[in-house]
Structures are given as C-alpha cells and as structure tokens.
Amino acid sequence: MIKVMYPGSFDPLTLGHEDIIKRASKMFDVVIVGVLKNETKKSLLTIEERMELIEVSTEHLGNVEVVTFDELLVDYVFEKKINFILKGLRNNKDFEEELVMAQGIKVYNKEVETLFMPTKPSLSYISSSIVKSLFYNKGTIDNYVNIDVLKKLESRRKNEKDRAVFKNN
C-alpha cells in the first residue's frame, strides 16, 4: 500500500488544494492530508474546522484521511511508514521554497522522499493568503473555495458582525 502525506495549513482549503488532493487520490492508495498549525500566521479557522472542511470536501474520494500532529513532519511520516511527502507547486517561488525544505528533510532523514506536483494552470493564482486577505477585506471568494468553505467563512463573517453590533449596544 503506497501512502502519501500532503501537508499544509489549509487555512482555508482552496480549490488549488482540492485539485492536488483529487489528483493524488488517483495516484496513491492512501492520501493523508496533514493539517499543520502555523504559529507564524494568523489563523482564520481552527484546526478542527479545517479538518472537518477537508473531510467533507474529500469524502467522495474514498482514500483520503485527515490528520493533525504536533511533531516534525519528517518524524511523523517516518514513524507512520508513509511513503512520500507531496508538495503542491503554483510557481517558481513555491518550487524554490519547497526544494529547500525537501533537501533539509533529506539531510534529516535519508529515508523520507518528497514529491512535487504542479497545480493546474487555471488554479495557480489561488492561495490561502489571498483568500484570507479577500475575506478580511470583504471581497468575493467564491472563485477560490468550494461551497462548504464559502458557507463556513460567510457564517464566520456574520458572527463577527453580530458580535460587533452586540459590543456597540
């Protein structure tokens, strides 16, 4: 059984992420989506919300698992006997950053392999950072995320408005 780990913050899950997961699900027996906490970024969604949205968005694929962990990715992959780490690439900048990380992983543990998958050109402009920026600035995000993510974020926006009104009264 060949397993691949697709790690990321997925804050929020985008159509680009979904494209990589769907394509990987056709290539590997098991795709494990590893939801990571990124302490350097302001989170829009909780880990639990991100995991739930990924599960809902990928349940039709049948071979996708969603996990989170609080140890080094390379250690987790090695301990769980996951065959590969998969990194999605949108552009040259992504490649340069991911290549450095893959090389660092290889130095840390020679047994762990990293694979790169370019996103579809039609989705290469999408990033979680752009979605968050649009969301925080009240922009339209329906071309960037699926309907479940959109509903979750719209609900979040409504709740924030309700709290703001309540605080002002």
Instruction: Please state the φ and ψ torsions of residue 121, each to the nearest 5 degrees.
Output: -55, -35
> Does 90 qualify as catalytic in the annotation?
yes
Catalytic residue among 37, 90, 106, 156: 90
Catalytic residue among 17, 87, 132, 152: 17
DSSP E strand stretches across 53-99: 64-68, 84-89
Q: For the chain, how far is it from start to end, CA to CA, in angstroms?
A: 59
Note whether 86 and 4 are within 8 A (CB): yes
> Does 41 qualify as catalytic in the annotation?
yes
Instruction: Please state the φ and ψ torsions of residue 9, each to the nearest 5 degrees.
Output: -85, -30
Catalytic residue among 9, 25, 57, 128: 128
> Does 133 qualify as catalytic in the annotation?
no
Catalytic residue among 41, 151, 158, 163: 41
d(CA 116, CA 86): 6
DSSP 114-151: EEEEEPPGGGTT--HHHHHHHHHTT---TTTS-HHHHH
> Does 17 qualify as catalytic in the annotation?
yes
Catalytically active residues are 17, 41, 90, 128
